[in-house]
Amino acid sequence: MTADAVTMDKIVSLARRRGFVFPSSEIYGGLGSAYDYGHYGVLAKNNVKARWLEAMTQERDDIVALDSAIILNPRVWEASGHVAGFTDPLVDCRTCKLRFRADDLENAQCGRKPSKHPGETDECNLTEPRRFNLMFETHLGPMHETADKVYLRPETAQGIFVNFKNVLQLARRTPPFGIAQIGKSFRNEITPGNFLFRTREFEQMEMEYFVPPDEADRWYAYWVEERLGWYTRYGIRPGHLRVREHDADELSHYSKATSDIEYLFPIGWSELEGIANRGDFDLTQHSEHSGTKLEYVGPDGERYTPHVIEPAGGVDRALLAFLVDAYDEEVVAERERVVLRLHPRIAPVKAAVLPLIARDEQMVSRARSLYEDLRRRHVVEYDDGGAIGRRYRRQDEIGTPFAFTIDEQTPVDDTVTVRDRDSLAQERLPIGSVGAWLEDALERPWQPPKDDA
């Protein structure tokens, strides 16, 4: 019997217990909403990024990769509109000294009476809203003068736009073509929170797709479907995803149209990724501010400023969605089991190799040699610590899809058991075929075993 019992607290607790994610600088009391990734978190996050880059570049001919600097010439952010407009309205409460986003008070709690929203009690004493720029400032060099002020990038996208000409010339592309980038972004969010959902330092995976202007609407619709398909391909249940088109008054300053792919997080339906039709805003702005014309000139002399379709997702937020969607609790033989039913290509560890009895030399030597063979191609774990049931339980909680157990029968007939994380089915395999079996199992189409409700 399974139940969709996931809550954000359970995810936070599992992530910590199993070493996926820890609060950052914890021994100094932490730093509000900053997190560090442990071993399994790094592996799973790397898998999310690898699947994205694979889908964007390896599986297509029209998109190339880029890794631009985090600190760019500050004029980039003047041209992009971030210096003037990347702001949130902020209010302070003079009574409880807390700070809130003025446009999100209905989701905030009053500092004195948490059942109320800020401004709802007689004690609340809110200031007038002020615009607060979300970009982190720093200085180049030692002088800390205004002239040296630079910003940590609040999105990876602008590093792509300012490289448009390089890629056009050097990668010899013609529209439609795209540039994909994964990297850290920084926003001084007024109200970060909900674990990895909103932090001040996070990773983005963004792709800017440059198209002839009259094809923009078609490619916008195309990329909404493509990105939706990517999440379901890697195991998010379709019923937990929806597309929400922005109303005109919600659109960012650069956007002609935006659709959010929303996921049903434990905090409710929330943005997972945005797909925007940015028109020619960015290339035109950077052409004007830099004096370098960013346009496409065809072989017959036709010239135009391409329009841009941008699928922009968050790595950490995507990982959170994969964890939430995979989390399951069930009762097996009267014992509760917590299991992460992650897609095998997202799971941090692909298989565990477990000698049934850690003191049995024959079992151990066969298990070690199987492990040494498998680890050449995949992230696999060798575990001989404790009762077999506890070892299975540990692998279930980190989402390892397969476990190979070397038992009494192995020295007799050279077979091992393979246990399937989701069905708990066990079968025997010749030890010599385990490598090929695993290769095949990781390639097989995979369906989430949980109800899509």
**Which positions touch ligand GAP (CB under 6 A)?**
155, 157, 187, 189, 198-199, 202, 204, 206, 271-274, 310, 312-314, 316-317
Q: Which is nearer to ligand GAP, 311 or 401 (CB)?
A: 311
What is the smallest separation between the CB atom of 98 and ligand GAP, expressed in angstroms?
19
- Asked if residue 21 lies in contact with residue 37, where contact means CB atoms within 8 angstroms, the answer is yes
What is the smallest separation between the CB atom of 266 and ligand GAP, expressed in angstroms?
16
- Asked if residue 271 lies in contact with residue 260, where contact means CB atoms within 8 angstroms, the answer is yes
Q: Which is nearer to ligand GAP, 228 or 272 (CB)?
A: 272
Q: Which is nearer to ligand GAP, 276 or 398 (CB)?
A: 276
Q: Which is nearer to ligand GAP, 317 or 450 (CB)?
A: 317
Supply the DSSP symbol for 336. E
Q: Coil, strand or helix: which one is 141?
A: coil
Cα–Cα distance measured from residue 167 to residue 172, given in angstroms and rounded to the nearest whole number: 7
**Crossing angle of the two packed helices 434-443 and 361-374, in degrees rounded to 10:** 50
Q: Which is nearer to ligand GAP, 45 or 198 (CB)?
A: 198
What is the smallest separation between the CB atom of 157 and ligand GAP, expressed in angstroms?
4
What is the smallest separation between the CB atom of 152 and ligand GAP, expressed in angstroms?
13
Give the residue among 135, 157, 168 at the shortest CA–CA distance from 278.
Answer: 157
Q: Which is nearer to ligand GAP, 40 or 197 (CB)?
A: 197
What is the smallest separation between the CB atom of 310 and ligand GAP, expressed in angstroms?
6
**The dihedral formed by the CA atoms of 255, 261, 265 and 267, expressed in degrees to the nearest 10:** 30
Placement of tokens 């404790």 in the chain = 386
In degrees and rounded to multiples of 5, residue 263 shows phi and psi of -120, 145
Q: Which is nearer to ligand GAP, 199 or 405 (CB)?
A: 199
Q: Which token pair is 177? A: 């073509």
Q: Is the peptide bond before 449 cis (omega within 30 degrees of 0)?
A: no
Q: What is the DSSP string of 310-350?
A: EEEEEHHHHHHHHHHHHEEEEEETTEEEEEE---TTTSS--
What is the smallest separation between the CB atom of 33 and ligand GAP, expressed in angstroms?
9
What is the smallest separation between the CB atom of 82 and ligand GAP, expressed in angstroms?
10
Q: Which token pair is 92? A: 């302070």
